[in-house]
Structure 1
Amino acid sequence: MSPSNPSSPSQPSPIAGRAAAGPSDDAAPAALTSRAPHVPADRLVAEMVPPPRFQSARFETYIPDPAQPSQAEAVQVLSSFAASIGGAASASGGKRRWFSKKPEAPKGPRGVYLDGGYGVGKTHLLASLWHATPAAPELKAFGTFVELTNLVGALGFQETVRTLSGHRLLCIDEFELDDPGDTVLVSSLLAKLVEHGVALAATSNTLPGKLGEGRFAAADFLREIQGLSAHFRPLRIDGEDYRHRGLPEAPAPFDDETVTRVAYATPGASLDDFPALLDHLSKVHPSRYGAMCDGIQAVCLTDVQAVPDQSTALRLVVLADRLYDREVPVLASGKPFDELFSEEMLNGGYRKKYFRAISRLTALARDAKQLTEK
Structure 2
Amino acid sequence: MRKLIALLMVFALLLSMAACGGSSDNASSDSSDEAVMIGVSMPTQSLQRWNQDGSNMKAKLEEAGYKVDLQYAGDNDIPTQVSQIENMITEGCKVLVIAAIDGSSLTEVLKQAKEQDIPVIAYDRLIMNSDAVSYYATFDNFQVGVMQGQYIETALDLKNAKGPFNVELFTGDPADNNATFFFGGAMSILKPYIDSGVVVVPSGQTTQAQVSTQDWKTENAQSRMENLVTSNSYSPKGKKLDAVCCSNDSTAMGVVNALTSVGYTKDNMPIITGQDCDKPNVKSMVAGLQSMSVFKDTRTLADKVVGMVDSIVKGSEPEINDTKTYDNGTGVIPSYLCAPVICTVDNYKEILIDSGYYKEADIQ
**TM-score over 0.5 for the pair:** no
TM value normalised by structure 2: 0.30
Which of the two has higher C-alpha Rg? Answer: 2
TM-score by length of 1: 0.30
